[in-house]
Amino acid sequence: MRGWKPAPHVLLLLPAFIVLAAVVVVPLMLSLYSSFTPFRLTRPDSIYTFIGFRNYERLLTDKDFWIAFGRTVLLLTFALNLEMVLGLLLALLVEKASRGQRILRTIMMFPMMFSPILVGFQFKFMFNDNIGLVNNALQSLGLTDRAIPWLIDGQLAFISILIAEIWSSTAVFAIFILAGLMAMPREPLEAAKVDGCTPLQSFRYVTWPFVMPFAFIAMTIRSLDIARAYDIVKIMTDGGPAGRTEILWKLIARTAYSDARMGLANAMGYIAILLSILFTLLFFRQLAKARQQVGAEW
Amino acid sequence: MDENAGHRLKRSLLKAGHLIGLFLAMAIICLPGFWIVLSSLRPTVEIMAKPPVWIPNEISFDAYVAMFSGVGQGGIPVLEYFRNSVIISVTSTVIALAVGMAGGYAFARYRFRGKTAIFLGFMLTRTVPGIALSLPLFFVYAKLGIIDTHFGMILAYVALNVPFTVWLIDGFFRQVPRDLAEAAQIDGCTRWQAFWQVEFPLARPGIASAGIFAFLISWNEFALASQLTRSTNSKTLPVGLLDYTAEFTIDWRGMCALAVVMIIPALTLTFIVQKHLVSGLTSGAVKG
């Protein structure tokens, strides 16, 4: 035996490992380390001072941080649930259509092609209190005579962001649920009908269990990318008015680059990363449970 | 008889309700994009008009002409941003595809220990929010002096795309029956030849759609690009769009035109691959 020859799968996976290690893992180690220092961009030596968990301790008592954290979780909960329900409805509507399914499916994918920053911009434009489409329409229809400050009032801004978020991501759910509906065999449904199920019952006990894994794929894909809300918020309100729509990722960016407190921001970043990982693991496990069903013929 | 008529009425009502619902849903999906396209084609006066002008009186391409004739409106060098976006997205896609093909093939064809764990590990690197990743990357890139360069952005986007390309390509290789390559090998092909002449052509449409998916992610990415780019050397279109909002008066028409320029390549490419995209993601994830 001359020389050690690695197994082929090791060789094949090596490039992926190297790239991910270089760009993701090693920098993340660095950020983990710097979250234990009072590192500021303006004072580079401060990275060598070790202060233990003080950044994290400070975060625990930081009201702004917890408000932003709570707001982020609230936004995600609302957005994911509404996207799921609306996606299901949309998929059912399209599946029922007897003609023009191809075109409908294509239109349905439309929002997925928009970059989050574009989604933010277009809703910023539509929700503009002065020239926006929404206010113009409401005023022309005579529903209101004053301009509603969609992006200026704290609560309305949150709702506007939620709408933008839902508009952009409902498609993901709709498409995967539709793929599931189309892959579903007809016989169980007919059997349920023969056995005297109401449409609601046959949906609940036949259709939904079959479609579930597809909904979980959509959830997993979506949860890989939950931080995309950053782009939308950044361009729509930039965290304003007066920090009322500041979400976790926006707060990180502000602490790191505007306040130049990298150490603290990295500590926040770690909390954000754990949040994302939690979301993904949650759905991935559900997916693994629901994996028995077969893939779709789209 | 009466029952029959009632039933028929109920059916046609249901049908009408379905059509109306469908129409409304599609209208909501299409309206924002349509409004942007329309706004980019009408004079600024009309966008600002009070009471609103719904139907444009004149259509002009002024915004696009201004944008592509050197320094565009509001002093925004759209042409440079466009060039950067194309270079960075295309290069990172090609590299991510090559890496993803190797990785996806390994996942689809070899059995080894810790397969699921490695796969999950790959996916977890993708969950790191761009902005959280940008902090240490910013620091490392600053030390290496590759901030605001094409190389730095390409490297970051390759890493961003590799988990997805591995996932998708893994799914497509699984759909190619293992026996085909084995038959080719029995007929005297090496494993390398069997891959390129049998398995690759069969999985090609899927690989193409993985490529387009990767391209779209790089094309649309903002959180990393906004921190790792500084000037026209490497700023991409999404970052360029933000240039408009930094000013006190927003040039809505110019922004709309830029938005249309950003969306057209994405739109065209997605239409081409929509079919393979969904089947790839589902077969990779469901069949496991």
pLDDT tens-place values along chain A, 298 residues long? 455 677 788 888 888 889 898 888 888 888 888 888 888 877 777 777 778 788 888 888 888 888 888 888 888 889 988 999 999 999 988 888 878 787 888 888 888 888 888 888 888 888 888 778 888 888 888 777 777 888 888 788 889 999 999 998 898 888 888 888 887 888 888 888 888 888 888 888 888 888 888 888 788 778 777 777 888 888 888 877 777 888 888 888 888 888 888 888 888 888 888 888 887 788 777 777 665 544 433 3
- Distance (Å, rounded) from C-alpha A283 to C-alpha A218? 9
Distances (CA, A) of A185 to A228, B55, B121, B175, B288: 36, 48, 34, 20, 21
Tokens of B132: 């959280």
Of B122, B259, B288, the CB nearest to A118: B259
Q: Could B105 and A114 be called an inter-chain contact, meaning their C-beta atoms sit closer than 8 Å? A: no
pLDDT, residue B96, reads 94
Q: pLDDT per residue over A26-74, tens digit each?
A: 888 888 888 888 888 777 777 777 787 888 888 888 888 888 888 888 8
- Distance (Å, rounded) from C-alpha B19 to C-alpha A93? 9
Best residue in A72, A89, A231, A273 for a mutation probing chain B (most B CBs within 10 Å)? A231
What does the angle CA A222 – CA A226 – CA A232 come to, to the nearest 5 degrees? 115
Judge whether A5 lies within some domain.
no
pLDDT, residue A296, reads 39
Judge whether A17 lies within some domain.
no
**What distance in Å separates residue B213's CA from the closest CA in chain A?**
10
pLDDT, residue A179, reads 83
Q: Could B127 and A295 be called an inter-chain contact, meaning their C-beta atoms sit closer than 8 Å? A: no
Judge whether A156 lies within some domain.
yes
Could you give all domains of chain B from N- to C-terminal order, each with its CATH number?
2-60 (no CATH), 74-286 (1.10.3720.10)
Cβ neighbors of B34 (< 8 A, separation 6 or more) are none
Return the SS3 of A43.
Answer: strand
ipTM, two decimals, is 0.82
Query: Across chain B, how many H-helices and E-strands are there?
Result: 13, 0
Return the closest-CA partner of residue B108 out of B202, B196, B171, B181.
Answer: B171
What average pLDDT is seen over chain A? Answer: 82
Judge whether A122 lies within some domain.
yes
In the beta sheet, which residues pair with residue A43?
A40
**Chain B residues 95-154 with CB within 8 Å of chain A:** 98-100, 102-103, 105-106, 110, 112, 118, 120, 122-137, 139-140
- Per DSSP, A294 falls in state P
Is B271 in CB contact (< 8 Å) with chain A? yes
Judge whether A87 lies within some domain.
yes
Judge whether A203 lies within some domain.
yes
User: Could you give the number of structural domains in chain A?
Assistant: 1
Q: Could A122 and B274 be called an inter-chain contact, meaning their C-beta atoms sit closer than 8 Å? A: no
pLDDT tens-place values along chain B, 288 residues long? 577 888 888 888 888 888 898 889 888 888 888 888 888 888 877 777 777 777 777 777 777 777 777 654 556 788 888 889 999 999 999 999 999 999 988 888 888 888 888 888 888 888 888 888 888 888 888 888 888 889 999 999 999 899 889 988 888 888 788 888 888 888 888 888 888 888 888 888 778 888 888 888 899 888 888 888 888 888 888 888 887 776 566 778 888 888 888 888 888 887 777 767 666 666 655 544
Rounding to the nearest 10 degrees, give the CA dihedral for residues B181, B185, B188, B194. Answer: 40
- Cis upstream peptide for A199 (omega within 30°): no
**Residue A125 belongs to domain with CATH number:** 1.10.3720.10
What average pLDDT is seen over chain B? Answer: 83
Per the structure, the complete domain to which residue A127 belongs is given by 62-289
Judge whether A56 lies within some domain.
no
- Per DSSP, B210 falls in state H
In the beta sheet, which residues pair with residue A40?
A43
Of A89, A176, A276, the CB nearest to B278: A176
Return the closest-CA partner of residue A169 out of A103, A234, A93, A227.
Answer: A227
Distances (CA, A) of B26 to A91, A105, B151: 12, 10, 41
- pTM equals 0.85
Judge whether A6 lies within some domain.
no
Is B38 in CB contact (< 8 Å) with chain A? no
Of B33, B98, B242, the CB nearest to A110: B33
- Per DSSP, A112 falls in state G
Residues of A in contact with B46 (CB under 8 A): none
- Per DSSP, A40 falls in state B
